Structure 1
Amino acid sequence: MVQIQRHFEGGNAIFGPGCVLTGYFLNANVRVTIHLSVKADANSVLIHWRPSSVDRDPNAVRDTLKGFGPLRFFQRAASTFGSLSRRGYWSNVAGYYQPEHALAAVRHFSGIPQMEATLLYTAYFTVSKELADVVLLDVDDIISQTQHVDTAWDDRRQNVTMLRISGPNRETIVDLKRILEAIFSGKVASKTVEKKAGCEIWHDFFAGPQGDIWLQHLGRDTGLIIVSDRAQRRLRIYDPDPEAGDGDEQAHVVEMKLAEKVTELNLPREAHTISLDRNSLRKLISSDTVAKLQKLLGATNVSLDIVSKKLVLYCSRDAVWLATYQLDLPLPPPTAQKPPQACPVCSDITSEIQLSCGHVSCRECFDHQLNVASGDLSSHHFPVRCWHENCQHPLSILDLRRYAPGTMIDSLLKASLTYFIRSHPDEYRNCRKPDCASVYLRNGYHEIFTCPACLTQTCTLCHSATHVGWTCAQYQERVKKDEVNERLLDSYKASAGTKDCPKCGTLIEKIDGCNHMECSGCHAHVCWQCLKFFSRPDRCYDHMNLVHGGDGLEAEGDEEGEWSDDSEGTYVVAHISACLTFHEKAYPGGIQHTKEQGNAWPSTSFFLIVH
């Protein structure tokens, strides 16, 4: 039975015919391709302290760290992290085996004066030495553009290399991990039809030693590296010299050569059977005729069944005629032609899709049925079966690889895995981050789950944020109190007319005056109307006049009658930010220019009132 493997939702999933999940493995070290495995954790702590503080020598700090759990290592921090500490502080990194121990250490040291503790997020890439050499330039170029990230290459074994990236910012490590995974995964070879990616290119020929030799020759001719990923049944293309600039063009040439090879391997082979009597069979066995046939047609294209006394040749009719003529063998009877078949869905006569079960389907109905199965998680769609009413045979992986695009196959496999996970709610649960679909075991060995995709940490007992130092019940009670306090605070802010500073979150309140506010916490200059903040007051006033048509005093003055006049007329208010030259005779009503009390208005800002 042909199976296919994919790395989905933080684990390795194996699928059989009909896209049915046959195995799902969750572990810390996830294999992405046959040459790459990735691991991510948040088990390390970066600690800064003043050497002059009491009991803050390295040995004392290490002894304190051991109290939270077994240490993997305790060493001086890399120079990359030096900018994260203040001058005069010592820096060390402590690594634990479990994330709860690291979180407990961060919580402990964060409450001690003259000490700082930061959680570090780390991703490990274990790759073959050959692959590491190919992508080294690309990887180093990406890493060099990222700040506050410590990296190290480590040759663990003769043919295996490990890359470690570590940093205090979760988003930075997650983004860098995603980019490096794409580089290490390479380009999956696929047929291109009308500038759209079509079916992925694969044949079991590439899973054997002959296929490896053929790929090596093709790579030598094109200057690229082609790797056979047998587990995922994919061919991956790598460019060892990306700076040359011709990688995309050469990759297209490689894909064309691969597609031609697969077409040649998939040429239909007709089975021609020659029935033998006892004397003919005995004569055939005692001669070298079979060996000569294998040399002419290929060893795998000649089969001799002694029990049934039949010689079967797999080749074209012309090749059979030539071989039997040269070796003086009887010509087998012509192969019976199959009658035309109709698509079981639309009843049109077709031969576009020829399934291994012997039935056919038109391209439109085939694609439609796969789309329905990938979008509907109902149980009756898996396994995906032949649509002939008398068959119901699960679609083989080979049929899907031959006729369905790679993106469609992945959609089907993801839908099958999602259905499986939802069918086992007591065993599996998704990461608590809304846009992440990684999965963890609810009854696993560890209390804290660190998502291998987004590095979000979750308590596996109550599916909430980590709460080291509290039980799940205590934490839930605290959350409820916080929610009540938040509602009370929101109610107070609504009644008192206060808002949160958009920069630091400090409550600010407007009693009177214009819409320019200065936060007492961070001293940002805030527009009260839209809560946009600025570093200088004049920029805030420019924004209010440009975007909101004024500073808010105009509307306030209209309500109080400050600018009212019984006579009919038009009032034009403009904010002048430069020196104004005018002629008194041009405005008989005169010009008033007033300056608001205090330093709210720049010295060159005036109100122009035209009657």
Structure 2
Amino acid sequence: MRLSCLNADVALSLFYPAGVEYNLDRSYNGGFRVSISANATRTVAEMRKPIEALMQGKTVDHEDLTPLVLQILFSLEGVSLMRSVQNDTRTHIIFDRYRRTIRVFGSPRKVTAAEERLVRSLIDLHKNKQLEIHLRRRLLPPNLMKELVDLYGPELNGLKQMIPDAEISLNVLRQVISIGGAKDAKQKAEKIISEIVSQRRRDDNKESHNIAATTDCPICLCDVEDGYRLEGCLHLFCRSCLVEQCESAIKDFDIIPICCAREGCNAPILVSDLRTLLPAERLEELFRASIGRFVVTSEGRFRFCPSPDCPSIYQVGTLGEPFVCGACFAEMCSSCHMEYHPYISCERYKQFKDDPDLSLKEWCQGKKDVKVCPVCGHTIEKIDGCNHIECRCGRHICWECLQYFSNSDLCYGHLRSVHLSYV
């Protein structure tokens, strides 16, 4: 049996009883492969369970891990913190930059310790970290810093007077406002600047508002408010209606592809429009929903990687070819979608998965010198010797009639009195 393993230390920390052997090999794609061998398929099946549990990991779910807090993990400080927790707790931590999720791998006790420390450290970092508001971004109004300087002065003294509890500084070269202090002070400063940005956008869309006074939105059928004109077809909508259309597509990907709702148009809404209408997090979710739509409508030609939280997809094959995921390094059969099983057919491998003792049962068929212990069900092969058999469960068995006894004397007495012979 071969399984992909995310971390060599995790695989080597597993406990294997006597009679079980394993080898740890590095695969060509950078992952690790654990090979398990034992004298019974049931034992191998039991040994799979702890490996598979480790590979699943635990997703960190905490109400205080907001997108702003998780944003710290994109910085060098956040990466250093994650590595420190990982090394100190001897776990393996993965931060999914697209789904904004954290998974921790290791023993349950170590995973709990790593989760508690990581959450606490991230929250403390967020509280003490200065808030940075960038004034020069693609979606922001031009000359925003100039307007703030004109409004509050070169040192933003007017803004400082409005929020005396906040520590406010302006970096002119980077066009960034840094805000320190209590959480409420940061939020208040951010709200003031956000209102200025919103007002600028309303002013910049003045022409659209004038048109909206005499134009109905094709979605809500009311006068257009905060109008937005699509780049592809130039049709005008309420900005909120377009956002709601995109949000609906995230929840129900049957709406994808998203098209202009004006009657008779049906032109696709361009990615440039989506980037303007949606924040980065929601845009990423929309892209993932579109992938889901693609997989669902592929009529079985494509499937998602079965690893938890893995965004990869693969093309379904017919020859049992392996799919090696570039994101999680999992290896699986592209035909039956189970673990990759070289040298054995998909149907046969499924039979072994459903019944780990199948090969043993087939081997026993038609053999007169093979029987099953009436107490524990262990398979016994008698090659030579007398008809007294001691099973591994400790019972003494008569090979002729399978009657069992607590000790050898009783068994031999039975052989003499009933079968008149030991052989």
> Aligning the two structures, in what range does the TM-score lie when normalised by the shorter sequence?
0.3 to 0.5
Bigger helix share: 2
Higher relative contact order (CA 8 A, sep 6+): 1
- Normalising by structure 1, we get a TM-score of 0.33
- Normalising by structure 2, we get a TM-score of 0.45
Bigger radius of gyration: 1
